[in-house]
Amino acid sequence: MSTSDVAEPLIAAASADSARVLHAMRLVTNLVRLQAPRVESLAGVTTTQMLALRVIQERAGIGVGDLARALGVQQPAASACVKVLVQKGWIEAIRAEPDRRAVQLRMLPAGTEFLIGVPDPVACALQAPLAEMNGQVLTALGQALDELLSHMGAGAAADPPSP
Protein backbone atom coordinates (compact mmCIF):
# COMPACT_ATOMS: atom_id res chain seq x y z
CA MET A 1 0.00 0.00 0.00
CA SER A 2 1.51 3.33 -1.06
CA THR A 3 1.10 6.66 0.73
CA SER A 4 -1.07 7.89 -2.14
CA ASP A 5 -3.51 5.03 -1.45
CA VAL A 6 -3.91 6.35 2.10
CA ALA A 7 -3.73 10.06 1.28
CA GLU A 8 -6.42 10.14 -1.43
CA PRO A 9 -9.31 9.02 0.82
CA LEU A 10 -8.15 11.50 3.51
CA ILE A 11 -8.08 14.35 0.99
CA ALA A 12 -11.51 13.32 -0.32
CA ALA A 13 -12.90 13.28 3.25
CA ALA A 14 -11.37 16.69 4.00
CA SER A 15 -12.79 18.05 0.76
CA ALA A 16 -16.24 16.69 1.61
CA ASP A 17 -16.03 18.26 5.08
CA SER A 18 -14.91 21.58 3.59
CA ALA A 19 -17.71 21.49 1.04
CA ARG A 20 -20.27 20.78 3.78
CA VAL A 21 -18.98 23.64 5.95
CA LEU A 22 -18.88 26.06 3.01
CA HIS A 23 -22.45 25.13 2.09
CA ALA A 24 -23.61 25.64 5.69
CA MET A 25 -21.85 29.03 5.88
CA ARG A 26 -23.54 30.11 2.65
CA LEU A 27 -26.93 29.10 4.06
CA VAL A 28 -26.31 31.05 7.29
CA THR A 29 -25.20 34.11 5.30
CA ASN A 30 -28.26 33.92 3.06
CA LEU A 31 -30.63 33.54 6.02
CA VAL A 32 -29.09 36.59 7.70
CA ARG A 33 -29.48 38.55 4.44
CA LEU A 34 -33.14 37.52 4.22
CA GLN A 35 -33.74 39.02 7.69
CA ALA A 36 -31.96 42.29 6.84
CA PRO A 37 -34.78 43.98 4.88
CA ARG A 38 -37.11 43.68 7.87
CA VAL A 39 -34.61 45.37 10.17
CA GLU A 40 -33.73 47.94 7.49
CA SER A 41 -37.38 48.93 7.03
CA LEU A 42 -37.79 49.38 10.79
CA ALA A 43 -34.60 51.45 11.09
CA GLY A 44 -34.81 53.40 7.84
CA VAL A 45 -31.17 52.71 6.95
CA THR A 46 -29.28 49.91 5.25
CA THR A 47 -27.55 47.08 7.06
CA THR A 48 -24.19 48.41 5.86
CA GLN A 49 -24.96 51.83 7.34
CA MET A 50 -25.94 50.27 10.68
CA LEU A 51 -22.81 48.13 10.74
CA ALA A 52 -20.67 51.15 9.78
CA LEU A 53 -22.12 53.11 12.70
CA ARG A 54 -21.28 50.28 15.07
CA VAL A 55 -17.70 50.03 13.75
CA ILE A 56 -17.20 53.81 14.02
CA GLN A 57 -18.62 53.74 17.54
CA GLU A 58 -16.18 50.98 18.56
CA ARG A 59 -13.18 52.43 16.70
CA ALA A 60 -13.32 56.22 16.99
CA GLY A 61 -10.98 57.86 14.52
CA ILE A 62 -11.08 55.00 12.02
CA GLY A 63 -10.35 55.96 8.41
CA VAL A 64 -12.53 55.18 5.42
CA GLY A 65 -10.13 52.50 4.12
CA ASP A 66 -10.10 50.67 7.45
CA LEU A 67 -13.89 51.02 7.66
CA ALA A 68 -14.19 49.44 4.21
CA ARG A 69 -12.04 46.51 5.33
CA ALA A 70 -14.04 46.11 8.55
CA LEU A 71 -17.29 46.03 6.56
CA GLY A 72 -15.93 43.81 3.79
CA VAL A 73 -16.80 46.35 1.07
CA GLN A 74 -14.81 48.35 -1.47
CA GLN A 75 -13.59 51.82 -0.47
CA PRO A 76 -16.00 53.67 -2.82
CA ALA A 77 -18.94 51.88 -1.15
CA ALA A 78 -17.61 52.82 2.29
CA SER A 79 -17.17 56.44 1.15
CA ALA A 80 -20.78 56.56 -0.08
CA CYS A 81 -21.95 55.10 3.24
CA VAL A 82 -19.93 57.69 5.17
CA LYS A 83 -21.42 60.49 3.08
CA VAL A 84 -24.95 59.40 4.01
CA LEU A 85 -24.08 59.06 7.70
CA VAL A 86 -22.49 62.54 7.73
CA GLN A 87 -25.57 64.00 5.99
CA LYS A 88 -27.82 62.43 8.63
CA GLY A 89 -25.69 64.09 11.32
CA TRP A 90 -24.72 60.79 12.94
CA ILE A 91 -20.95 60.94 12.35
CA GLU A 92 -18.32 63.52 11.53
CA ALA A 93 -15.42 63.17 9.12
CA ILE A 94 -12.44 65.16 10.36
CA ARG A 95 -9.60 65.88 7.95
CA ALA A 96 -6.42 64.28 9.22
CA GLU A 97 -3.07 66.04 9.48
CA PRO A 98 -0.76 66.17 7.56
CA ASP A 99 -2.61 64.41 4.68
CA ARG A 100 -5.80 66.45 4.35
CA ARG A 101 -7.25 63.86 1.95
CA ALA A 102 -7.56 61.33 4.76
CA VAL A 103 -10.39 61.62 7.26
CA GLN A 104 -10.97 60.27 10.73
CA LEU A 105 -14.54 59.21 11.49
CA ARG A 106 -16.15 59.92 14.82
CA MET A 107 -19.59 59.26 16.22
CA LEU A 108 -21.81 62.21 17.04
CA PRO A 109 -24.37 62.10 19.88
CA ALA A 110 -27.24 61.75 17.38
CA GLY A 111 -25.58 58.63 15.93
CA THR A 112 -25.12 57.11 19.36
CA GLU A 113 -28.75 57.87 20.19
CA PHE A 114 -29.89 56.27 16.92
CA LEU A 115 -27.97 53.06 17.62
CA ILE A 116 -29.53 52.69 21.05
CA GLY A 117 -32.93 52.05 19.52
CA VAL A 118 -31.84 49.98 16.51
CA PRO A 119 -31.29 46.22 16.64
CA ASP A 120 -28.16 44.73 15.10
CA PRO A 121 -29.39 42.95 11.94
CA VAL A 122 -26.94 40.06 12.32
CA ALA A 123 -27.81 39.61 15.99
CA CYS A 124 -31.53 39.67 15.14
CA ALA A 125 -31.09 36.74 12.80
CA LEU A 126 -28.74 34.70 14.99
CA GLN A 127 -29.48 35.33 18.68
CA ALA A 128 -32.52 33.07 19.01
CA PRO A 129 -31.01 30.10 17.14
CA LEU A 130 -27.75 30.41 19.08
CA ALA A 131 -29.65 30.58 22.37
CA GLU A 132 -31.37 27.29 21.50
CA MET A 133 -28.07 25.46 20.97
CA ASN A 134 -26.54 23.16 23.55
CA GLY A 135 -23.84 24.98 25.57
CA GLN A 136 -21.08 22.54 24.64
CA VAL A 137 -21.95 22.76 20.95
CA LEU A 138 -22.02 26.56 21.13
CA THR A 139 -18.60 26.59 22.83
CA ALA A 140 -17.19 24.25 20.18
CA LEU A 141 -18.66 26.43 17.43
CA GLY A 142 -17.05 29.50 18.97
CA GLN A 143 -13.68 27.76 19.16
CA ALA A 144 -13.96 26.54 15.57
CA LEU A 145 -14.86 30.04 14.37
CA ASP A 146 -11.91 31.50 16.32
CA GLU A 147 -9.61 29.03 14.55
CA LEU A 148 -11.12 29.86 11.15
CA LEU A 149 -10.69 33.58 11.83
CA SER A 150 -7.10 32.96 12.86
CA HIS A 151 -6.38 31.13 9.59
CA MET A 152 -7.98 34.04 7.74
CA GLY A 153 -5.66 36.49 9.51
CA ALA A 154 -8.43 38.16 11.49
CA GLY A 155 -7.46 36.90 14.93
CA ALA A 156 -9.87 35.33 17.40
CA ALA A 157 -13.22 36.70 18.46
CA ALA A 158 -12.36 36.06 22.11
CA ASP A 159 -13.33 39.60 23.15
CA PRO A 160 -16.67 40.15 21.40
CA PRO A 161 -18.47 43.47 21.66
CA SER A 162 -20.88 43.69 24.54
CA PRO A 163 -24.48 42.71 23.72
Q: What is the pLDDT of residue 97?
A: 73
**Per-residue pLDDT reduced to its tens digit, 127-144:** 888 889 899 999 999 898
> How many Cβ atoms sit within 10 Å of the Cβ of residue 104?
16
Task: Give the integer Cα–Cα distance in Å for 33 and 148.
Answer: 21
Q: Which range is most confident: 55-59, 101-105, 150-154? A: 55-59
Q: What is the pLDDT of residue 95?
A: 86
Q: Write down all domains in the chain, each with its CATH number in brackets.
A: 1-44+118-158 (no CATH), 46-117 (1.10.10.10)
**Per-residue pLDDT reduced to its tens digit, 7-42:** 555 555 567 788 888 888 888 888 877 877 777 777
pLDDT range class, residue 120, cuts 50, 70, 90: confident
In the chain, % of residues over pLDDT 70: 85
Stretch 40-47: mean pLDDT:
79
pTM over 0.85: no
pLDDT range class, residue 109, cuts 50, 70, 90: very high
